Structure 1
Amino acid sequence: MKRALILFFLPLILAQVVFSQEKIVDYAHLKCQYQHTYLKDTLDVGTYNDLFILQIGKNISKWYSYYTFQMDSLRRTPDGKQVWQEMFNKSLEVLKNSGDRTKWMNSFPHNGSRTFVYKNNPSGKMTVTDGIGNDHLIYQDTLNAQHWQIADSMKTILGYECQKAECDFRGRHWTAWFSPDIPVSDGPWKLGGLPGLILEAYDVGKQYHFWMVGLEAVTREPIVFSEFSLSKGKFREIDRRELLKLEMNQLTNMGAIMEAETGVPSGNNKPVYRDLIERDYK
C-alpha cells in the first residue's frame, strides 16, 4: 500500500552550523526515526531507551543517536559547556535526594549511544565510529552481512504492509519486518539487505528492539561524517572485536566508572548479566 512518506515525525533541533564544519558525504532524501530499547539486565525487566535517526541518501546512509547529537550540539554552542554543567549539577541534587538513577538521567541532556554507522561508505562497506571514555574509535565492517530467510508472515507498521524475515547475526537470532512499498534496502543499526526498508527488528527475547516511530521525506538534507566530540586528535583505528571487548569491560565496571565521574557512590556491585548486541567477541 503506497502512500506519501511524510508521517508523524518528531521535530528535531538541528544545529545547521555543524554542517559547515563537517564533511558532507551525501544528501538524504528520507529520514527515519527509531525508538530503541535494550535490557538493563537479563534477570530484570528494566530497559534502557534511546532514540535513533537513520538518514538515507542516494548512496550513503547514516545511523546515530538523536540524544548524542543533541548533546554534542549543545556543547558546541558558545556557552554550551557551562549550561550543561549547571544542569548536570542540579541533576546531582535530584539523584542525592531521590536515589532514582532513571529520574536523574532524564533530568539533564545526556549522551545516548556513541555509535555512528555509515553504510556504503566507502562503497561496498560500512564505516563505524564509536567512543569509550575519551577514546574515539573507528573501523570498517561488512555491508549487508546478514543472510535473511524471508517468511510469508505479514503485519502493518505505520500504515505499511511489512513482511517478516529472520537471520542469525553475530550471536543473536534476529526477526525483521520490512516494507516492499519502501524500496530502500536499509534499516536500523547494521541491519539491511532486504528488498525494502526495515521498520522493526528485534532479537530473541527482545533484549534489543528497534521500531520505527517516524518517517519523513526530506530534500537534500546533508549527511555529514560526524566528529562532534573530537576536540583533539583523530579517530583511532581499531579491530571490531577488540572494540567489543573494551565495551564489555566498561559495561562490567560501569558502577565504578560512574562513581569516579560523578562522585556519587553507585552502591551497585552486582554482577552484570547484560551482553552486547554483537556476541562474537568471545
Structure 2
Amino acid sequence: MKRTMITIVASAFVFCLAAQEKPIAKVHYNFMHVNDTTQRDKHLRDEVVTYLGQNSSYYTSYSSERLNQDLKRQTDKAGFDGNIVLSKSTTSIDRNYIFYPSQEKAIELASFGGDSFLIDSKFEVPIWEIHDESKDIGGYNCQKATTDFKGRKYTAWFTTDLPFSSGPWKLQGLPGLILTATDSREEVKFEYAGFDKIGGETQIVIEAPSTAIKSTSTEVKKLEEAFKSNPQAYLQSKQGRSGTTGKVMFGGAVVVKGGPGSTSKATNISNLNIKSVNIKSDDSYKPSKVTNNPIELTQ
C-alpha cells in the first residue's frame, strides 16, 4: 500500500492578534467524548463547528447558535403566547481555538463562569500518514489518514474536494478538509454533520473577542478549578466586573455566546412579551460530571 508521510514542525509563538477575516465556509461535526471511563455510556456530546477562512480557522461549540435559532423560531410563530421552552441535550466545549497556519500561530480561548480567557498556545500539526483507502462521506470522496497525537491514535477521513487544510479541534494539516476523525479506543469522535458556504455579506469574523482576558494556562486552570468547586463564590467574586462574555440571561435580554465566529449579537427580548423561559434537559442525556479521561492524554 502506498503511503505518504506529512511532517510539519510545530513551533511556539509570542502571543499577538492577527488581522480579522470573514470565514468563507463552515463544517459541522457531532462531537462525542468518553470523559469518564467508569461510565462509558454517560459521555459528553456537543455540536461543534470549524469556521474556515482563507488564512485562518476557528473551532468552537455551535450550541449557543442552536439556542438562538430555537428562540427565534418560537418568538416568530404566529400566536406566540410568551412562554419559551428550550431543550438542552449537549454540553458546550469549554476550549475554543483560532489557527493562523501561514504564521504558525494559534490562540486558545477558555470559557467558564461567564468569562473568556486568551491563552498563549503552541501551533502544532499532527504528523499524518496518508493511506490509499477511500470512501464516500456526505457525497464527498474521502481518503484515510492516521496519526499519533496527544496520546491517542486517530483515524481521519479528509477530502480534497474541499481544499481547506483544517478539521475539528487541533486535527489539521492534511491536503483537504477532515470530515470525520476517531481515536482507536472510540473515546473521542468527530462525525461529519454538514458543510455550508458563507456569503460575503456575513457579519461573522474570525478574531479573538475584545472582552477576553489575557492569561496563562496555569492561572486559568486555577480559576477553572475554583469555579467548578464553588460556582456561586466564583460568580460573586467577579460581580461588578464588566466585560463578561458567554452568558445566557433571561428576563429582559438574552446575551448569547460571543467571540470569534459568533453569528449572534446580544438579542433584546424585553419587547417580546416573554412570560416564562423553561430550559429542559433531555432525559436521555446525562453525562458524567467526572473527567478521568481527557482528550489530551499527553501534552
Distance change >3 Å, CA 161–CA 73, structure 1 → 2: closer
Give the match for residue 165 of structure 2. 185
Give the match for residue 209 of structure 2. 227
Give the match for residue 297 of structure 2. 279
Q: Contact 1:33/1:215 (CA < 8 Å) preserved in 2? A: yes
AA aligned opposite 2:128: W
Q: In the alignment, does 2:137 pair up with 1:157? A: yes
Between 214-223 and 166-175, report the one with greater CA deviation.
Answer: 214-223
Structure 2 Cα separation of the partners of residues 250 and 171 of structure 1: 27
Q: In the alignment, does 2:51 pair up with 1:55? A: yes
Give the match for residue 32 of structure 2. 37
The root-mean-square deviation of aligned C-alpha atoms, in Å, is 3.8
Structure 1 Cα separation of the partners of residues 34 and 65 of structure 2: 23
Between 150-159 and 66-75, report the one with greater CA deviation.
Answer: 66-75
Over residues 238-262 of structure 1, what are the superposed CA-to-partner deviations in whole Å (9 max), with x where a residue is unaligned? 13x7756876x589x67x769x99x
Give the match for residue 17 of structure 1. none
Structure 2 Cα separation of the partners of residues 172 and 242 of structure 1: 26
Aligned positions, number: 216
Distance change >3 Å, CA 173–CA 123, structure 1 → 2: same
Distance change >3 Å, CA 191–CA 33, structure 1 → 2: same
Q: CA deviation at 1:178?
A: 0.5
Between 50-59 and 139-148, report the one with greater CA deviation.
Answer: 139-148
Query: Match of 2:103, SS?
Result: coil
Q: CA deviation at 1:144?
A: 4.5
Give the match for residue 238 of structure 2. none
Q: CA deviation at 1:190?
A: 1.2
Taking structure 2 as the reference length, what is the TM-score of the superposition? 0.60
Q: How does 1:111-122 map to 2 (within 5 A)?
A: 112-120=92-100
Q: Contact 1:163/1:178 (CA < 8 Å) preserved in 2? A: yes
Between 26-35 and 120-129, report the one with greater CA deviation.
Answer: 120-129
Over residues 194-238 of structure 1, what are the superposed CA-to-partner deviations in whole Å (9 max), with x where a residue is unaligned? 01100001112221111111111222233243539x5xxx41321
Give the match for residue 10 of structure 2. none
Q: CA deviation at 1:179?
A: 0.7
Q: How does 1:202-213 map to 2 (within 5 A)?
A: 202-213=182-193
AA aligned opposite 1:53: V
Over residues 39-90 of structure 1, what are the superposed CA-to-partner deviations in whole Å (9 max), with x where a residue is unaligned? 2421322322101121111111111111145569999xxxxxxxxxx97xx9
Taking structure 1 as the reference length, what is the TM-score of the superposition? 0.63
Structure 2 Cα separation of the partners of residues 126 and 155 of structure 1: 31
The structure 1 residue matched to 2:178, chosen from 185, 198, 213, is 198
Q: How does 1:137-156 map to 2 (within 5 A)?
A: 137-156=117-136
Structure 2 Cα separation of the partners of residues 217 and 74 of structure 1: 22
Structure 2 Cα separation of the partners of residues 187 and 210 of structure 1: 9
Unaligned runs of 5+ in 1: 1-22, 76-85, 92-103, 262-269
Q: Contact 1:61/1:223 (CA < 8 Å) preserved in 2? A: no
Q: Contact 1:52/1:66 (CA < 8 Å) preserved in 2? A: yes
Over residues 116-175 of structure 1, what are the superposed CA-to-partner deviations in whole Å (9 max), with x where a residue is unaligned? 211108932111101244553222333342111111221210011111111111111111
Give the match for residue 23 of structure 2. 28
Q: Contact 1:33/1:213 (CA < 8 Å) preserved in 2? A: yes
Distance change >3 Å, CA 173–CA 152, structure 1 → 2: same
Which has the bigger relative contact order, CA under 8 A and spacing at least 6? 2
Structure 2 Cα separation of the partners of residues 114 and 66 of structure 1: 12
Give the match for residue 152 of structure 2. 172
Query: Match of 1:219, SS?
Result: coil
